[in-house]
Amino acid sequence: MRQAQTLNEAQLRRVLQFCQTRRHPLRDRTIFLVSFNAGLRAKEIAALTVGDVFDAAGAPREQFVLQAAQTKGGKSRTVYINQRLQRALAGCAGIIPTTDPTRPLFESQKGGAFSANTMCQLFLDIYHAVGFKDASSHSGRRTFITRMAAQGVGVRVLAALAGHASIHVTQRYIDVNADQLAQAVELL
């Protein structure tokens, strides 16, 4: 089975620029930023609530616990929110009512939470519109893991962040490209 395409920074910028042309630009852009900066699966993004990501004062959290029911593996884990994602979430606070912590973080066009399948479809629609035929809802997750691995983050830390029980699963997410190979041999 072919793995989802990883994206470089220029490709991610193309996706984010395209999101600005859509009916719900801020929502769609933020969904992609959550995928790329927190490494969440589409199912996990769809299951997020306002209370998961925002505190009682309406400020983005630095971390939150993804409950077992929200994950693929049925195990809770802590999700860490980097500063880039915190800024994006803070920009959403004006359009997302943060007073109801049980409200879905991202609402579908029909109102209410996205289903996992609908969230996957949103990713596919945007990737295909931008011209990335091998990208999927897992591309952000693979890119998240690959980029951190390239920065020297250990596989055990990556596995914990991804919610993988086995480092062998995490290793399959790490993409290797020609630039990384060229940089590696220059370390000698």
Tokens 């973080």 correspond to what residue?
105
Give the global pTM.
Answer: 0.91
Q: What is the pLDDT of residues 23-64, one digit of tens each?
A: 999 999 999 999 999 999 999 999 999 999 999 999 999 999
Are the C-beta atoms of residues 145 and 158 closer than 8 Å to each other?
yes
pLDDT < 70 positions in the chain: 1
Q: Give the domain extent around 80.
A: 1-188
Residue count of the chain: 188
Indicate which CATH number applies to the domain containing 57: 1.10.443.10
Residue type, 128: H
pLDDT score of 1: 57
The total number of structural domains that make up the chain: 1
